[in-house]
Amino acid sequence: MAQRYGGKFSPQGDSPAQNPTQKPSGEFRAARRTRAGGRVNLLFLAPLPLIWSAFGNGPTALALNLAALGLLILAAWLTREGLIAQEAYEARTVARRPAFPRKIAGSLLTGLGLALAGFAATGDLIAPVIYLVIGSALHLLAFGVDPMKNKGMEGIDTFQTDRVARAVDEAEKHLAAMTDAMKRAGDRQMMARLDQFQTTARDLFRTVENDPRDLTAARKYLSVYLMGARDATIKFADIYARTGDAQARSDYAALLDDLEQNFAARTRKLLLDDRSDLNIEIDVLRDRLKREGVTSQ
């Protein structure tokens, strides 16, 4: 099979074949195609013909069609936000249901928007009711309903999970700021390298979410270290976008290497601690069974 040249002195650096010890980028590890894509974008385009229906047919038609347009655009936005919230919910093993059912609200607003448009076109009440019912039902069938219950929270202290959720949300904001800053640098390789570090960081997030007791040991990583990484990324992006400084690029890549190694080491340490806790629980239970005279035959 043909393979693109990527030697030591090529602009693209070492190729995976020539550097087998190089870790694969985390950009596509466990990646899933987002639902907030093509179908949702069509929802923003579909009601635009109402603009032409609004003008030239009197003030009543103008008001009804523009109101229908606004409702349908709002429904499309709520649907997209609901899909994004559902993806975040599904990506976590421990998660709360969305506080507001955006997709269900989008279904109702879609039906109302179609009903208003139908009333503006026909003037009777039967057609709008039909549009309301069918439009809402089809929207629900196409996009589903929002998650309606918490996931993986049985037997878990809700106070602790709330603390973890707030800490992870803040950490995700730092990662998002790093991604936005790196876009200004215009370096695709460094963007891929940043994605790889962020995948490692999110492994730590998931570990803490699975056991909220780990938050104390990981809090510095989720706040102080990520905040420093965010500030360093912003400064690097500004400098590299203006000057293309190769030394700054090399220093920033080394920083990402150090951060990734430390985050991965902390994740492994937390997993080992969890395993030790399990072994202790097993030993305690076995000792209790022996004291009570319960033994396997």
Neighbour count for residue 164 (Cβ, 10 Å): 24
Residues near 251 by beta carbon (within 8 Å), at least 6 away in sequence: none
Neighbour count for residue 28 (Cβ, 10 Å): 11
Given a cut of 70, is residue 218 above it in pLDDT?
A: yes
Backbone angles phi, psi at 95, to 5 degrees: -155, 150
Residues near 221 by beta carbon (within 8 Å), at least 6 away in sequence: 201, 204, 262, 263, 266
SS3 95: strand
Neighbour count for residue 24 (Cβ, 10 Å): 9
pLDDT band for 214, please (50, 70, 90 cuts): confident
The pLDDT assigned to 28 comes to 44
Neighbour count for residue 229 (Cβ, 10 Å): 24
CA-CA distance, 7 to 71, in Å (whole number)?
56
DSSP one-letter code for 121: H
pLDDT band for 216, please (50, 70, 90 cuts): confident
pLDDT band for 149, please (50, 70, 90 cuts): confident
The pLDDT assigned to 5 comes to 46
DSSP one-letter code for 155: T
The pLDDT assigned to 9 comes to 45
The pLDDT assigned to 24 comes to 46
Given a cut of 50, is residue 222 above it in pLDDT?
A: yes
pLDDT band for 280, please (50, 70, 90 cuts): low
Q: How confident is the model over 254-278, as a mean pLDDT?
A: 83
Residues near 135 by beta carbon (within 8 Å), at least 6 away in sequence: 110, 111, 113, 114, 115
CA-CA distance, 264 to 262, in Å (whole number)?
5
Residues near 127 by beta carbon (within 8 Å), at least 6 away in sequence: 118, 119, 121
The pLDDT assigned to 124 comes to 85
Given a cut of 90, is residue 26 above it in pLDDT?
A: no
CA-CA distance, 135 to 145, in Å (whole number)?
15
The pLDDT assigned to 206 comes to 86
Q: Which domains does the chain have, with CATH numbers?
A: 38-143 (no CATH), 158-291 (1.20.120)
The pLDDT assigned to 283 comes to 65
The pLDDT assigned to 256 comes to 93
pLDDT band for 95, please (50, 70, 90 cuts): confident
The pLDDT assigned to 23 comes to 46
Q: How confident is the model over 2-20, as a mean pLDDT?
A: 46
The rounded mean pLDDT for the chain is 81
The pLDDT assigned to 33 comes to 62
